[in-house]
Structure 1
C-alpha cells in the first residue's frame, strides 16, 4: 500500500501543469478561485463610466443614471477556478479512489478502536500512564473514523457538500482536530516510553496517572484551540460552472494568500514537525538503550527493537507526506504555482488515515496478554472486577503484577518497563 501511495503522489505532482483561461479570470494555483463580476446579458460599458455629460438635459441624465444602476443590478459575483481544479474535482481520484480508501479505513478502524476503548475502560486495571495515553489515542482515532462517512458521501457525490455551511465547518475542524491530536498523543506515548526505558527509576515521580491525565487534557485543548480558525471561517463555496458546493477544498485566492498562507504552515509546524522531532529522538534513544541492554532472551530484545522501528516508520509514513506537501502547497500559492500540490495533499491525507487502522494493531493488540483479554471479551465472559485480572489462577500465584494487562504494544508485551 505504501509504495502505491508514493507512486500516486509522484504521478499527481508530475502531471500538475498550469492551465488558465481569459487572462486574470482563472488562477493556475492550488484549488483556489477568484470572485469576478459576471452577467448573463450584454452590458453597455458606456453607461458604466462616470464621465457623464455635464451639458446634457436633466431627463437624459436621469435616464442614464437609471440605466447605469440597472446594469449594476445584473452583475453577479461568480467564483472561477482553474481548469486543472475542475478536472480534479470531477476526476476519478477525488470521486472514487479517495472515498473508497476512506470506506475501508472506516470499516476497519472503527471496530478496532471501539473495542480498544471498551477494553481500556472496563478491563484494564490499574490505570497506568501508558494506558491513559493509549485510551485517549483510541478515542481520537475513533472520533476520526466516525467523521469519515461525511467525507465519503462528499467525495462520492462529486465533491458536492449538501449538509450546510455550519456542518462543513464542524466536520472540517473536527477532522483536523482528531488527526493532529493523534499526532500529539503518539508523541506523548513516545516520551513516556523513553522515560520508562532510559530513565526507569528517575522518572517514577513524573510518570503518574494524574500527570498523564493532565497531559492528555492539555493535548485535547491544544488541538481544539488550533482548529478554532477553521470553525469560525467560511468553508463552503459554490462553483456555478460545476454546479457543486465544495467544503474546504476551494478557497478564495485572497483568503489563501493572506489568512491561510500563514495559518497552515504555522499549524503544521506546531502540530506535526515539533512532535516529529520529539518522537524521533525518543524512539532513537529507546533503540539505543535496548541495543545496549544485557537481556538473556535475545529474540525478545530483537523483536522489541524491530517493533520500535516499525512504529516510528508508520508515524513518519502516515503523517510526514501530508505535512510536507502542505508546506509546499502554500509556498506554491505565494508564487502563483499549479494546483497539483493540493491534489497530492488530499491523496496523502487519505493514505495517512490508515494510521487509524495501524495504531490499534501496534499499540493495543500487540501484547499476547491483551489478545487473551480481547478473546475473553468477544466470548462475552463476565467482566473482571476493578483491580483484578481475568485469570484468577495467575492472580493467586503472581499477585498484583499479573492483575493488569501489560499494554506495551510496541514491544509486544516483552519489555515491561514501558508500562511500569
Structure 2
C-alpha cells in the first residue's frame, strides 16, 4: 500500500461506501414524498441529493488515481471532465445549502410573507440558475486545462490537473480568485447570517419545544461543518495560489475534504424535515424486513416513536402555521 493510498483513499472510500447508499435512499424517499406533497425545502434537498449522486458517480476515478500513487493512468480526457463535475457539484451544493438556510430563516422569521411569496415554481427557477451558474464557471477549468496547445495534444499524462504552463496559470489563477469570492464567500456569508438568525429565533421563542430547538441547532451545525470543513480549505487554496502565482502543494489534499459533504448532506435531511424522517424510516424498515435485520425492526420503530412524540417537527410549514407567527 502506497503512502498516497494511505493518505487519500480512506476519505474517498468512506465517502463512497456511506454516501452512495445514503443518497440513493434519500433519492427514493424524496420521490415518494413528491407523490404526496411538494414543498419548497424538499425540492432543494432533492437537488442536493442529485448533486451528491453525480459527485459519487465520478468518485471511483479519484479512488483509482489515489491507488496509483496519484498518477493518472486512464485516458486524459477523463481527468479534467471528472474534476469539472467534482467542482460543479461542490459549488452547486454550497448554493443549495445557502438556499436552504435562507428558506428556513424566512419561514421562521417572516412566516406570513414566506407562505405568500415562496412558491415551488420560484424555487425551481432558482435551482436551474444555480446549476447553470456553477456548471458554466467550473467548465472554465476544463477549457483552461486544454488552453496550451502542447498539453491539449496529450492523451495521457502522469499527473491530473496539477501541472500547468505559465500561460495557463495566467488565465487560471484570476478565475480561481473570482470563484472564491462569487461561489464561496457570498454563499458562506449569507448562510452564516441566516443560520445565526434562524437559531436565534428558534432558541428565544418560549413556546418552541426543546427537541425542535435541538433539531434547529443540529441543522445549522451540519450546514456550517459542510462549509468550514468541506468547502473552505480548497477555496482558500485559490487565494493562496493567486498570491504565490502557482498551485499550493497541498491544494489537491484540500480537495479531499470537499468530497465528504456527500456523506454529511443526508444527515442534514433529518434535521430539515420530520416527514422525511418518517418516510426514510419506512424505507429502512422495508429493507430490514427483506433482510436478516428484520429482528431489529420493532426496536428501531420504538426508538423513532419515543423521539417523535410531539405532533409536529421542525418542518416550519407545519410548525409556525400552528403558532401563528
TM range (shorter): 0.7 to 0.9
Query: Which residue, out of 307, 325, 348, partners 2:254?
Result: 348
Q: State the Cα distance separating 1:305 from its structure 2 match.
A: 4.3
**Native 8 Å contact 1:159 1:244 kept in 2:** no
Q: Does 1:208 align with 2:90?
A: no
C-alpha change, 1:368 and 1:199, in structure 2 (3 Å) is closer
Query: Which residue, out of 229, 234, 239, partners 1:317?
Result: 229
Partner in structure 2 of residue 175 of structure 1: 86
Per-residue Cα deviation, 1:154-194 (whole angstroms, up to 9, x for no partner): 12112222332322221121111111111111011111111
Q: Does 1:284 align with 2:196?
A: yes
CA distance in structure 2 between the partners assigned to 1:283 and 1:168 by the alignment: 36
CA distance in structure 2 between the partners assigned to 1:154 and 1:415 by the alignment: 42
**Native 8 Å contact 2:222 2:264 kept in 1:** no
**Native 8 Å contact 2:272 2:315 kept in 1:** no
CA distance in structure 2 between the partners assigned to 1:282 and 1:365 by the alignment: 16
CA distance in structure 2 between the partners assigned to 1:244 and 1:157 by the alignment: 13
Per-residue Cα deviation, 1:18-48 (whole angstroms, up to 9, x for no partner): xxxxxxxxxxxxxxxxxxxxxxxxxxxxxxx
Partner in structure 1 of residue 168 of structure 2: 255
Q: What SS does the corresponding residue of 1:158 show, helix, strand or coil?
A: coil
Q: What SS does the corresponding residue of 2:159 show, helix, strand or coil?
A: strand
Q: State the Cα distance separating 1:347 from its structure 2 match.
A: 2.1
CA distance in structure 1 between the partners assigned to 2:211 and 2:278 by the alignment: 19
Partner in structure 2 of residue 119 of structure 1: 29
1:370-389 pair list within 5 angstroms: 370-380=276-286
Q: State the Cα distance separating 1:289 from its structure 2 match.
A: 1.3
Which has the higher Rg, Structure 1 or Structure 2? 1
C-alpha change, 1:106 and 1:180, in structure 2 (3 Å) is same
Say which is worse superposed, 245-254 or 144-153, in terms of deviation: 245-254
C-alpha change, 1:163 and 1:207, in structure 2 (3 Å) is same
Partner in structure 1 of residue 133 of structure 2: 222
Per-residue Cα deviation, 1:321-353 (whole angstroms, up to 9, x for no partner): 22123311221126xxxx7x331x322221232
CA distance in structure 1 between the partners assigned to 2:242 and 2:197 by the alignment: 34
CA distance in structure 2 between the partners assigned to 1:371 and 1:166 by the alignment: 41
C-alpha change, 1:139 and 1:206, in structure 2 (3 Å) is same
Structure 2: runs of 5+ lacking an equivalent: 288-311
**Native 8 Å contact 2:216 2:314 kept in 1:** no
Query: Which residue, out of 247, 252, 269, partners 2:181?
Result: 269
Q: Does 1:198 align with 2:109?
A: yes
More strand by share: 1
CA distance in structure 2 between the partners assigned to 1:97 and 1:330 by the alignment: 26
Query: Which residue, out of 18, 21, 33, partners 1:108?
Result: 18
CA distance in structure 1 between the partners assigned to 2:95 and 2:58 by the alignment: 19
**Native 8 Å contact 1:326 1:342 kept in 2:** no
CA distance in structure 2 between the partners assigned to 1:122 and 1:144 by the alignment: 23
Partner in structure 1 of residue 240 of structure 2: 328
Q: State the Cα distance separating 1:362 from its structure 2 match.
A: 1.4
C-alpha change, 1:218 and 1:159, in structure 2 (3 Å) is same
Say which is worse superposed, 300-309 or 131-140, in terms of deviation: 300-309
**Native 8 Å contact 1:120 1:131 kept in 2:** yes
C-alpha change, 1:348 and 1:231, in structure 2 (3 Å) is closer
TM-score of the pair, normalised by structure 1: 0.63
**Native 8 Å contact 2:229 2:257 kept in 1:** no
Aligned residues: 287
CA distance in structure 2 between the partners assigned to 1:189 and 1:309 by the alignment: 10
Runs of 4+ in structure 1 displaced over 6 angstroms?
A: none
More helix by share: 2
CA distance in structure 2 between the partners assigned to 1:166 and 1:244 by the alignment: 10
CA distance in structure 1 between the partners assigned to 2:201 and 2:162 by the alignment: 45
RMSD: 2.6
Q: State the Cα distance separating 1:296 from its structure 2 match.
A: 5.3
**Native 8 Å contact 1:130 1:418 kept in 2:** no
**Native 8 Å contact 1:165 1:234 kept in 2:** no
Q: State the Cα distance separating 1:310 from its structure 2 match.
A: 1.1
